[in-house]
Structure 1
Amino acid sequence: MTRVWDVPVHDSTRVRDARVAAEDAAALAGLDGPRTADAALVATELATNLLKHARGGQLLVEPVAAPGARSEALMVQIVAVDHGPGMSDVPAALGDGFSTAGSLGAGLGTCRRLSDDFDLHSVPGRGT
């Protein structure tokens, strides 16, 4: 049976829930300690961004079959969805040091580096 963690992120208390969901999904997927930590950091960064830039959204976490791997090999898929202002310059947002909120601007770049596969779709005025 597939397990999906659906974490509504509308206040700071849910950032912890996002991290725990990623850790639990990593355990189900059989990931080792460093990869579990990577998944937890990605979930934390994405949940924080949902609050900081979109006033909330949804984080979905799920262990899924790894493409091209043996059938029992799993990875953790993390999807963040919001209906916030969107991003006008996605390539800039993925670069380290770019921030519209006065932060270090390393979050999305870190997520991309820690992920085996990373994609971002954003439409200004509609969300990310």
Structure 2
Amino acid sequence: MPVDPQLSRRILLTAGVAGAGLASACGTARPAGPASADDPDGSLVDEVVARITATAALAGRVPGLVAMHTAHLDALDAEPPVPGRAALPRLRRSEQQLQRFLVGAAMTAESGQLARLLASMSAAVSQQLVVL
């Protein structure tokens, strides 16, 4: 399959993570380095990282959520979250907001690979919400 030269290394490596089992554990491979200045999805990835990090800060009571958010941040080459604690209703609302944001981010992404990764993350959050 030919590779589009316009795709950044980060997007290509992140897509590899998605294809390698994101739905089960979000992969363990890390993209190399930050997004380049010419990466059209760079600011979107930064916003996704910020939202996941903020949500993860509430998830300390639920180890499955902490693990999921850690794997998502790892897939985006971001620092692991520092989990805190929040009441379950607040945590549930925060996770629901993150899930909706990830759906929108997937639709906004210019890269198809990033869109699939974000959609997969949204699905993972949805699965965790069922048991929360």
TM-score when normalising by structure 1: 0.38
Structure showing the higher helix proportion among its residues: 2
The structure carrying a bigger strand percent of its residues is: 1
Higher relative CO (Cα under 8 Å, sequence separation at least 6) belongs to 2
Normalized against structure 2, the TM-score is what? 0.37
